[in-house]
Amino acid sequence: MLETFPNPEPGRDYEITHTAHEFTSLCPITGQPDFATLVVCYVPAERCVELRSLKLYLQGYRQQGVFYEALVNRVLTDLVAALAPRRMEVRGEFSVRGGLSSVVVARHAAGGQPGPGRA
């Protein structure tokens, strides 16, 4: 479960970036491990994510078979539900497999406004 704490500066826009360099999950087709760097960047509103709970949440994917696209979007959905940030981006930079690497980015902006890079 994702735990939060009160934002110490809720009246100020500032950016927080957390990077998980050793993220792992499983390929849902082959069961082989997928390795990634997962980057969570957000502008908090009233709540910030507690790092130990974020680490444990991300480790929960180690034995889950999930496609990259679903994974990045699920992490975004769960963090937005827990934090209700002003803006958030989750970026999955997946390691080379079969000669291809993949990057999946999902964004959220409070009030349904498009996030950066969205039309």
91 belongs to a structural domain: yes
Query: Which pLDDT tens digit goes with each residue over 40-57?
Result: 999 999 999 999 999 999
Q: Is 34 a catalytic residue?
A: yes
Best CA proximity match to 95, nearest among 85, 87, 104: 104
In a domain, 116, yes or no: no
| In-domain check, residue 3 | no
Q: How many angstroms from the chain centroid is the CA of residue 87?
A: 12
Dihedral sign computed on CA atoms, order 6, 48, 110, 15: positive
65: DSSP letter = B
What pLDDT sits at residue 101?
96
Domain hosting 84: range is 16-111
- Flag whether 6 is in a domain: no
Q: Which residues of the chain have pLDDT under 50?
A: 115-119
Is 93 inside any structural domain?
A: yes
Catalytic annotation present for 41: no
Task: Check 13, 34, 48, 78 and give the catalytic one.
Answer: 34
User: Does a structural domain hold residue 82?
Assistant: yes
Specify the number of domains making up the chain.
1
Q: What is the pLDDT of residues 73-87, one digit of tens each?
A: 999 999 999 999 999
| Catalytic entry in 27, 41, 48, 78 | 27
Identify the CATH number of the domain in which residue 93 sits: 3.30.1130.10
Q: What's this model's pTM, rounded to 2 decimal places?
A: 0.91
Is residue 48 assigned to a domain?
Answer: yes
With respect to residue 118, please indicate whether it lies within any of the assigned structural domains: no
